[in-house]
Amino acid sequence: MNILDIQALRINLGTHDILHGIDLAVPERSIIAVLGANGAGKTTLMRAISGIYKPSSGRILLGGENIAGLPSHAIVARGVLQTPEGRQIFSTMTVRENLIIGGGPQGLAELDYVLGLFPVLGQRLEQLAGSLSGGEQQMLCIGRALMRRPRLLLMDEPSLGLAPRVVSEIFQLVERIRANGLTVLLVEQNARAALRVADHAAVLDNGRITLEGPAQQVAADPRIVQAYLGGHTH
């Protein structure tokens, strides 16, 4: 069963069409990677799902309900959380305070669950978030979203600015999150890392999906090898 069905989605910002009739299915308990160069429309797609951008036309079905055009807070209330590009943690607050703010009405209830996934955060609870390493800040960003036990986690460029070893750790955590029953939609420029963990993948190019299928199949496509997996991989 699909947790998310995007149907003929168009996004128009000003005089520009950014997304041109996107169709994408996201099965429950899967990792879907959306790949593409800068400016391909990846972040716009995320922002449409999370309610920041209103579609010009098309539908975004969450568990069968059309959420296209709903305000962001209503979409969050339905279990869709996003980890933004650039992390956007509260750097002058402690790790504990960042997590509790993320929990919203649930407050402390999910703290043990999140710290079980991210033991390093448990060792840093009273540290200021701004003093964490880049990888730890990314873990905090993900942990903050998980405090609400979302149905669908939207991850926008989680590997950005991280060392290769840390990128590997972050994607291992993504696999663990999926193993716990969560669905992950992953927008990522690091195609190699994303395709390694994803079940399915879609390639966005100039606002259109030009290739879609099982991640292993997409990874083997000569166009993807040449464009994303060759010597110039990000």
Q: How confident is the model at residue 234 (pLDDT cuts 50, 70, 90)?
A: very low
DSSP letter at 1?
Answer: -
Domain boundaries, the chain: 88-137
DSSP string of 76-89, one letter each residue: HHTTEEEE-TT---
pLDDT at 233 over 50: no
Measured CA to CA, the distance from residue 154 to residue 143 in angstroms comes to 13
pLDDT at 231 over 70: no
Residue with tokens 């927008």: 187
pLDDT tens profile 157-199: 888 888 888 888 889 999 999 998 999 999 988 888 899 999 9
Measured CA to CA, the distance from residue 223 to residue 14 in angstroms comes to 32
Pair 203, 212: CB distance under 8 Å? yes
Residues facing residue 187 across a β-bridge: 34, 156
pLDDT at 38: 82
Residue 28: closest CA among 73, 61, 75, 67: 61
pLDDT tens profile 110-163: 888 899 889 999 999 999 999 999 889 989 999 999 998 899 999 988 888 888
CA distances from 124 to 25, 96, 100, 128, 139 (A): 38, 8, 14, 8, 12
Measured CA to CA, the distance from residue 106 to residue 38 in angstroms comes to 36
Q: Strand runs (DSSP E) across the chain, as ranges?
A: 2-13, 16-27, 31-35, 57-62, 65-66, 80-83, 152-156, 183-187, 200-205, 208-214
